[in-house]
Chain A
Amino acid sequence: MAANEVAVLGVGMHPWGKWGRNFVEYGVAAARDALRDAGIPWSDVQFVSGADTMRNGYPGYVSGATFAQALGWNGARVASSYAACASGVTAIEAARTRILAGLCDVALVVGADTTPKGFLAPNAGDRPNDPDWLRFRLVGATNPTYFALAARRRMDLHGATSQDFAKVKVKNATNGLANPNARFQKAVTVDDVLASPMVADPLHLLEICATSDGGAALVLCSLEYAKRHAATAGSVVRVAAVSTVTPTYPNTIIDLPDMATDSSAVVAAPEHRFKASIAHAAYEEAGIGPEDLSLAEVYDLSTALELDWYEDIGLCKVGEAERLLNDGDTQIGGRIPVNPSGGLACFGEAVPAQAIAQVCEVTWQLRGQAAGRQVEGATSGITANQGLFGHGSSVLLTR
């Protein structure tokens, strides 16, 4: 056991859906679920770490104190984090570092949101200093624009086809059928995907993740605390590494919300481009590599982006993701299943909850509790995620 590990004592979720209710309701339900799973009372929690809601690309409601009050003030220390799609892991990292510093034994991490229909769009009013406003106004570039640029690039560089992309959705939809927390539990075919309306060529509607309501929570604690409290001590899931790295200059892959890349005229692009550097940092910290993994939960904002992640987290060499997919390696029962939860394809994105939900799924998998979608004998898993403004995250979990 490495000295920098913490334990996942409990995980919980409110199912994903589209109801438009108060996000606090989802977060509190997930938190109570996680506390029940951990077998500890709320009054024992010493630190509450919230992932703030996302409103038009920016932080919305304060989360940590809101959840603490809703659960009943217990005097715990509190923090709220915002890091776009990576907010959940930033909240995890705040809890982990506090535990590792010896400043607390047990922490509750919560993220939840309720989200509007349709394209994520910026706040109203003229904000010409805001890159997220500018890309909509000056170019008409929505989030799917960026997903599609990456998809077309993949087709050109690696010969990916629309059928390859559609098969990612088919795989994830199949996995999600067995996930009671998934919003979409419906099998789809390649033909269904390709017959859905084109949104941003080459991506169809069924290839782009929706926005959802949902909530997820974790109880994290020191390994000592876990030994005292876990009914199944010895098989406790551990957080082996957390990565929240930012890009290294020059960031040469165009990314939300920017309209241009950094310049590579003077400084060469780094060995690991941003998305690859996120997982790389987690592997380095944990001292384990992609060959040690049993499964991965990656951020399939689009079908094509899931294929990029195969390479970015080191499951295969650059250009080999389509082969990995088509060989069945990434389906449940394959060599390295990816998104056994069903991924964003089946959840849609509830931004502050999503990166926490990835950790919940890996935890269930490592405990052998992912009924209907279990990766047999899973011993380690990684999550990977990327969002606006240079945010990204990865969590490595082992048992």
Chain B
Amino acid sequence: MSTRTRVPALGAEGWFTPDAEEPTLLGQRCTTCGTYAFPQAAFGCPNPACAGTDMETVPLSRRGKVWSYTDARYQPPPPYVVPTDEHVPFAIAAVELADEGLVVMGQLVPGVSVDDLSVGQEVELVVDVLFSDDDTDHLIWKWQPVTSATTGGAS
């Protein structure tokens, strides 16, 4: 198992820390006006009142509150890659990161259904396998409800 290669999924390279013990999304902060961007703003500050072009990469809050949520009962079309032989419905949440003023979508970890979710609930970022092929695991960020067992972690 240790020979498997772990890489961020195509398109998400540099969007999160794939191997950190406490993983985070990697956003950007404008060094001029201080606003944030995720995914990274490739063409300068997105604030129209700011002419800044220098954006520094910053880790975003690991925890946030569920802004809204849903699930995918049907298999999404390509380029979604079904990670298992048959489609297993998965939950999706849009999560509000208070410090950054951002709402970021992501899948919930497997096993979490909409019945386990509520608006305002605290969730935490984890890195998980989006899908695997041959000897490579393609990684992505997912959200995981913060339970009493995990509340001791960093916030």
Q: Which residues of A contact B (CB under 8 A)?
A: 118-119, 121-122, 124, 126, 128-129, 133-142, 144-145, 148-153, 156-157, 197-203, 249-250, 252, 254, 259-267
Contacts and interface: CB of A to CB of B under 8 A. Distances in A.
A144 B70 CA distance: 9
Interface of B: 9-12, 30, 33-39, 46-49, 67-74, 76-81, 90, 92, 94, 99-107, 114, 118-120, 130, 140
Contact of B105 (A150, A200, A260): A260
13 contacts: A136-B79, A138-B9, A149-B67, A149-B69, A149-B94, A156-B119, A156-B120, A200-B72, A203-B70, A249-B47, A263-B36, A263-B38, A265-B35
Contacts of A145: 70, 72, 92
A162 to B, nearest CB: 13
Given A140-B107, A141-B105, A156-B120, 12 more contacts: A126-B79, A128-B10, A129-B11, A136-B77, A142-B76, A142-B77, A145-B70, A199-B73, A249-B48, A252-B103, A254-B67, A265-B34
A260 B119 contact: no
Contacts, number: 148
A265 B102 CA distance: 8
A133 B12 CA distance: 12
A259 B36 contact: no
A249 B140 CA distance: 28
Contacts of B30: 266
Contact of A153 (B10, B67, B99): B67
Nearest to A252: B103
Contacts of B70: 144-145, 148-149, 151-152, 200-203
A164 B145 CA distance: 29
B79 A122 contact: yes
Given A201-B73, A265-B100, A138 B130 contact: yes
A264 B99 CA distance: 9
Nearest to B35: A266
A265 B99 CA distance: 7
Contact of A128 (B11, B99, B103): B11
B140 A138 contact: yes
Given A200-B73, A254-B105, A152 B68 contact: yes
A265 B46 contact: no
Contacts of B114: 201
B77 A119 contact: yes
A138 B68 contact: no
B119 A250 contact: no
B34 A266 contact: yes
Contact of B101 (A118, A121, A250): A250
A137 B68 contact: no
Nearest to A199: B73
A151 B90 CA distance: 18
A136 to B, nearest CB: 5
A238 B118 CA distance: 47
Contacts of A129: 11
B79 A259 contact: no
B109 to A, nearest CB: 13
